[in-house]
Amino acid sequence: MTAILKVSGVTVRFGGIHALDDVSFEVTPGEFVSMIGPNGAGKTTLIRAITGVVQPQSAEIRLSGREISNLPTHKRSRLGLVMTHQIVRPFHSMSVLENVIFAAGHGRIQSVFGAMVSFDLSRERDRAMKLLGLLGIAEMADKSVRGQPLGVIKRMEVARALALEPKLLLLDEPLAGLNHIEAARLADTVADINRRGTTIVMIEHNLGEVLRVSERLVVLDNGRKIADGNPNEVMRNPAVRAAYVGKDETDAAA
């Protein structure tokens, strides 16, 4: 099957620091890939480079075969490449529902002149309500985003990303900051979204949930890809164990 996303040779330097060094990987349609690695490994930088928020020094990024590394972020998003941020970024002046309606209206706001003469929200409102239902937060729809617990906002952001009808959804630590019950519920929801046909790449530190729900692991350490494959095999890989627990400790344990 052809890759929905093919990333080759991504190198990002911030000043003298190599944040990413020649990283390549592929995602096939329908997959649920989790990306793990210690803090500072370059996971967030990688998905930011994929969405164009960060400009890599060199990279080839293909979405369904189309080279997109010269496109601005909003155009990549229109092609179906959508990410959620690690730190929640809701529109604070809007309600939970309005946040999602805005994303559902991505077709209406594509052209400035089109947006100027369109007023109807009903179709977008229906779609947004369905998505909030899917994420289990329909009852919060009309509440202001301000003062909502993190769990609700994280779910709202996933709904908002889905409203853009992504081909590929990039989630940056969706479970961070949630307690283990909330985290397990959201992980199940994400797995359910994947079963409904959305390809997902998820950065996550919560290894328990990652191993429970994902089909494939990509491991980064120090800006390099050190492993890629079946979760159980990857976790048995000595390089991965070393990156996680530190070399000395594994030696000591062995």
The residue ranges that bind other proteins (CB under 8 A) are 51, 53, 73-74, 77-78, 82-83, 85, 89-94, 101-103, 105-106, 108-110, 112, 114-119, 160, 164
What is the C-alpha separation between 12 and 138, in angstroms, rounded? 40
Residue closer to other proteins (CB basis): 64 or 222: 64
Residue 94: C-alpha distances to residues 14, 43, 87, 132, 144 (Å): 35, 30, 18, 15, 6
Minimum CB distance to other proteins, residue 93 (Å): 5
Does the CA dihedral 90-93-95-98 come out positive or negative? negative
**Cβ pair 60, 67 in contact under 8 A:** yes
Residue closer to other proteins (CB basis): 85 or 224: 85
Minimum CB distance to other proteins, residue 54 (Å): 12
Return the number of other C-beta atoms located less than 10 Å from residue 116's C-beta. 8
Minimum CB distance to other proteins, residue 226 (Å): 28
Minimum CB distance to other proteins, residue 204 (Å): 19
Residue closer to other proteins (CB basis): 108 or 241: 108
What is the C-alpha separation between 28 and 37, in angstroms, rounded? 21
Residue closer to other proteins (CB basis): 78 or 224: 78
